[in-house]
Chains A and B, each alone.
Chain A
Amino acid sequence: MTRTRMPGISRRSTLALMGAGTMSVAAPWVARAQAKTIKIGMPTILSGRVAQLGTSSRNAVMLEIEKVNAAGGLAGRQIEMVIRDSKGQPQEAARVARELVNTDGCELMIDAEASSGAFAVHEVARDLGVFCIHTNSETSALTADPKQHIPNAFRTARQGVHDSIVGGSYAAAIAKAKGLKKWATCSPDYAYGRDTTAEFTLYLKRFAPDVEIISESWPKLFQPDYTEVVTKILQAKPQALYSCLWGGDLTSYIDQANIYAMFGQMEVFAVNMADYTALTVVKNLPKGIHSGNRYIKTFPTTPENAAWGDAYKAKFNEYPTNWSWENATAIMLMAEAAKKANSADGKKIAEVLKGLTIKCPFGADGTVTMRGDDHTLVGYAIGWGTTIPQEPYVPEVKAGDWKTIFELEAEWKKSKGYT
């Protein structure tokens, strides 16, 4: 038998020596490659109840980065992603973001945090001036409020107010048809939950003025038990319920509301239901929950979207999520902007990115645009439909109309004093 281990030296030392030898041979290549490499930092949530969404953000980014690197990189520089877990804590997200720039030398940033962390990372981007794309925060104020505006930050996430306009109009049509006048809401108690619920009810009442909100519940984010919330809603006896709970919170809520037979007693509108994360985890999914589209490979019904969903599933053995398409879009836009700018410099990318339209599998008409005046994504596929407990989960999605969205969004901005 051949022995590679030298007498008197442990197996571990032998391996270390072999590793060092390999490194010394490979080092010049590594060094040369590193000179051309550009590091992109990415704080996201890789542990806790939202970890699956954070992981799906990372997967989508890596899927797209592979393509960009294979095509020559970002303006000729190979991309190296530095991805860190923020555990879903805003202070940790800000610390990680700062460390990625200051210590790890990241030149660009993908902020794949939920709204709770995104505002914290936004302040880091403001402070350090680093180019940053917020990929997951849907809180409208992040880009709509001019006080938040900085030239180096953009958003590729869907926006709460867009969802609310489409959702409000969809829900109002059903409310009128079925005579649903008494409504309750149940949403997580933080920026996204409060803003999105306010915006949804605003448009619901606008399209169906008879609607009255008779009960509001604000469970805290990641609350383990919703029993008292479920029973409170049952006591109020609403005809319909709106919720923007999401991820594990939504699945917990459904499990707990199910045993009170709540879904048979009212129409439920849960904007975040139609995401594979929630759809595949809930074991006893009630039929007929109304939901906005999150990511579903059958909407938009294009071969490009279906192919992207299948490619993701083939690589990661699970379906993409809402956060996946939002992150993939960020890389697609960044790569196209760098190509047009012929530079990987954040400032130059930011200049080109304003108003840039690209072909994209997630676009309502096959394209998406980074709107120039408020740095947020528009033109993405958006719609509502009802869920069924098996694939395709949302058989028919009623698409929202972007012309109406733009009109009402402009009014909303004015009413908020943003324009």
Chain B
Amino acid sequence: MDIDALAGCLSSSACLVTQTTSGLIIGMLLFLVAVGLTLIFGVLKVVNFSHGAFYMFGAYFAMTAYQLTGSFTLAMLAGATGTAILGLVFERVFMSRVYGADVLMQLLVCYAFVLIFDDVVRIIWGPEFKSMGMPSAFQVMPLFIAGGVVPPYYLLLIGVALLAAIVLGIGLSRSRIGKVIRAAAHNPGMVSALGINTGLIYGGVFALGGMLAGLAGALAAPVRSLTPGMGFSVLIESFIVTVIGGMGSILGALIGALLLGLIRSFGSLGFPLFTEGLMYLFMVIVLVSKPTGLFGKEAA
């Protein structure tokens, strides 16, 4: 425990800026993965244990597109659209068959696909770790804001994730499709009776969730090494985010992810040997005080 270091940081604007942006970066990437998880759970009532695989595929699709075209924009698009298509196919072909089954069956199917997807990546891209490399446009000196260090690439990353959060929030609350999705989450039978194709909605939600995780993977690809199985550790932290924020709540996922990012960022200064433990401790406190999570709704 190094409380002096933490106190010193909190009283220094340079340290505050650096550590806060560091927390936002970690949080925003986590949010993109966790929001898909929470969205799929909210609408489909399925805990998608294989969600980390979409993060992994997003990173690999982006790396391949970048190697082929040299375009960072196309790499991001490939990561997002590739995983959206994958999510749609996965939901229509496999997951749609286990909606009525019990939770154990759903978990088993998802876990099976965690292993299958890892092996697919191993077969296509090989078992060794890969690096996409930072696009030359971002190989620049970091910005110094109030004495704190902020890399331009991370500003882009935070911006894209924030934009995704706003579009998703407004889209779900204001647009017609958003209202239908929310209605399907609440009463799928009634939505179906009104002549709306719920299968299409379910597939769409899965594709959207996959796309967001894929976008997170694509954004992470220039700074994280790519390897089969890379989605698993992200998935665990995403579950913590959804438990803290409340399963099914998008705002909860955002707040939960940001809190977790800040805990990691400032915790590494004050509690360097207990940073991981702090995340779980916070989750336990939330669970004890509010079992449905910070923004979760009580079951009717």
Contacts and interface: CB of A to CB of B under 8 A. Distances in A.
B15 A52 contact: no
Most chain A Cβ neighbours within 10 Å, of B19, B29, B127, B220: B127
B139 interface: yes
A46 B127 CA distance: 7
Given A218-B273, A234-B149, A259-B154, A47 B133 contact: no
Contact of B227 (A55, A248, A261): A248
A69 interface: no
B178 interface: no
A49 interface: yes
Given A224-B224, A248-B227, A252-B225, A51 B128 contact: yes
A48 B231 CA distance: 11
Interface in A244-288: 247-249, 251-252, 255-256, 258-261, 277, 281-284
Given A252-B224, A259-B138, A281 B154 contact: no
Interface in B138-196: 138-139, 141-142, 149, 151, 153-154
Contacts of A256: 223-224
Q: Interface size bucket, B side? A: 35 or more
A224 B234 contact: yes
Contact of A227 (B25, B138, B222): B25
Interface residues of A, number: 39
A228 B142 contact: no
B26 interface: yes
A227 B26 contact: yes
B165 to A, nearest CB: 19
B141 A261 contact: yes
Contacts of A52: 127-129
A46 B233 CA distance: 18
A48 B227 CA distance: 6
Contact of A224 (B23, B131, B233): B233
A231 interface: yes
B268 A228 contact: yes
Nearest to B18: A231
Given A48-B127, A256-B223, A259-B223, 19 more contacts: A49-B230, A217-B268, A220-B276, A222-B233, A224-B234, A227-B22, A228-B268, A228-B275, A229-B268, A231-B22, A232-B272, A235-B14, A251-B225, A258-B139, A259-B138, A259-B151, A281-B129, A283-B133, A283-B134
16 contacts: A49-B230, A52-B128, A218-B273, A224-B224, A225-B29, A229-B268, A231-B265, A235-B14, A251-B129, A258-B139, A259-B223, A261-B142, A283-B133, A283-B134, A284-B134, A284-B139
